[in-house]
Amino acid sequence: MKYLLTVILSIFLVGCAKAKTSDIVADVKDGVVYITNEINPTQGGAGTGFIVNDNQIVTNLHVVDGPGKISVYSDDSQRKYAATIVYKDFVADIAVLRLYEWELFEKNETPVNLSFGNSTVMNLGDRVIVIGHPWGLTWTVSEGIVSGKDRRPGQNPRFLFQVDANLFQGNSGGPIFNDRGQVICVSTLMLAMEGGSYGFCVPSDLVEKVLHDFNVFNEIRWRVMNVTAGLTDDGGSVILNEVESGGAADKAGIKKGDKVVAIHTPHNVPNGVKVTNPNDMITELAKLKGDEENISLLIDRNGELMMIDIKTNFRLSKDYTPDQAK
């Protein structure tokens, strides 16, 4: 297995052009795979995946879920390799595959392990590059920008990025790259309407959390504070409407009616993240790996600011109801 060495063409030099899309695609394409899920000779589906470690392939769960026969194809040939699901998480809509004949795949193809970038530092308007198989048009490349961040389609911890690059059926599970050829999102769904469409993807911070928990715990542990929150009547602050007795926040001294100003986690030091909406807290908690327990809340209690440390609890994916958006 060769590891991806992304080519950064003078991007550290002020005024120089960004890396060409064609150069990035050439570097990363051997880390992208085509996935089919054959239910019977006339029924099935197809999607995209990508290699992150030797014999560890990431895709969307909805691409491979069900009773079908899963096969993986490389860009270099039409050879088919049988695969199996080794882990799946319906909350994040992420599945991990393993090939039965990885050594043969390495021998015949030219696979590379793709690396993750930091999705949190992506800004609205940043360029993204998509490789996938929309409507079965294999090995299709599209380009666009990040057009929205931290969208939450349901009540689960999952949050999504929005991109204006074209994503359609068949793109699902495929990687979306930044200017350095790093995976910063995983294509997952689209919203099509008259005049165009928007794509949505699972940010790399969330995917890395799922892979970490899978590798360490063989389960996904979503950190929680055991509170419910909403906006104040004037909409200007986030207020804790309920604090579960004996829960993580209650044990830390958090009280019903406290207003949350900011949340501090290992992922947003040293400044924390300002909380203007309850989703801000959910998003920051969702990024925490299963063994990252400790956070701090900056709260306003009757006009007095105080920082309170909390040792969070966790819920498993089975404790949540699946989102309808896929």
- pLDDT band for 1, please (50, 70, 90 cuts): low
Q: Which domains does the chain have, with CATH numbers?
A: 2-113 (2.40.10.10), 119-213 (2.40.10.10), 221-318 (2.30.42.10)
Active site residue 172: yes
Catalytic residue, chosen from 27, 30, 62, 89, is 62
Catalytic residue, chosen from 27, 30, 89, 93, is 93
Whether 55 and 98 have beta carbons less than 8 Å apart is answered as: yes
Query: What pLDDT is stored for residue 193 in this prediction?
Result: 67
Query: What pLDDT is stored for residue 189 in this prediction?
Result: 87
CA distance 18 to 255: 50
Span 46-92, pLDDT tens digits: 999 999 999 999 999 999 998 889 999 998 678 999 999 999 999 99
The whole-number average pLDDT for the span 222-228 is 97
Active site residue 93: yes
Phi, psi of 128 (to 5 degrees): -135, 155
Beta-carbon neighbour count of residue 118 at 10 Å? Answer: 14
pTM summary value: 0.89
The whole-number average pLDDT for the span 18-38 is 93
CA distance 29 to 131: 8
The whole-number average pLDDT for the span 285-306 is 96
Catalytic residue, chosen from 71, 74, 119, 172, is 172
Active site residue 234: no
